[in-house]
Amino acid sequence: MTGIESLLNGFRNFREMYFEKAPDLYKDLLRQGQNPRFAVVACSDSRVDPAIVLQTKPGDIFAVRNVAALVPPYEEDGQYHGTSAALEFAVTELSVDHIIVIGHAHCGGIAAMVRKQEGGTINGKFIAAWTDLLREARERALAAEPGLAGDALQAASERQSVRLSLENLTTFPFVRAAVAAGGLSLHGWYLNIFDGVLESWNPDTRTFEQES
Ligand SMILES: [Zn+2]
């Protein structure tokens, strides 16, 4: 079933699960308000939904999803910063304990960025401007391993993009303040959807390490 009815069936299952069989969870979430301990920045890609990948329940994660799981740098320009607004709410209102940036393999947003840097054209009005924020990821990947190309350059750029977004997180004053106060930890993860493997960035060893 691929039509809209499949979504409505999904909602019926959700309603049965959380409003008929086990209604306490939502009653509590409404009575006490949401109190997620995790904010997640993930890609909009249909294969990497963090609630599915991480098997979370309603109320567990405050999720921001955008093209390429990108955290833009802090900017005070009065423009429309959806990701920054979500992060501000997560940190200053919800006081989450963790922010996790989850990049992934075979990311179309990173592929668009790499293609544009190599002289290709990107269709549309918005994607290239957005993914240009990650162009340094490809440059860093090439600086670390000159001669990288094709799939290897793509994968290296994806991992570097996670690191770049982590660095951009620290340009937000409220993030810096919460980290300095010991109330917030930042994490960079890379989801390899080819092999079903999750890697996490270890700032001490400066490598991505495979989670078991
Ligand atoms: Zn993606």
Flag residues of the chain having pLDDT under 50.
none
Q: Are residues 50 and 76 in the same domain?
A: yes
Q: Average pLDDT of the chain?
A: 96
pTM: 0.96
**Distance of CA 70 from the midpoint of ligand 1 (Å):** 9
* Token pair listed for 178: 């919460």
Query: Of 199, 62, 68, which Cα lies nearest the Cα of 133?
Result: 68
Question: If residue 3 lies in a helix (H) or strand (E), which one and from where to where?
Answer: none
**Distance of CA 106 from the midpoint of ligand 1 (Å):** 7
- What are 62-71's pLDDT values in tens digits? 999 999 999 9
CATH of the domain at 133: 3.40.1050.10
**Distance of CA 131 from the midpoint of ligand 1 (Å):** 11
The set of residues, in sequence order, having a beta carbon less than 8 Å from that of 52 and lying 6+ positions away, is none
Q: Are residues 167 and 117 in the same domain?
A: yes
Note down the domain range covering 13. Answer: 1-32
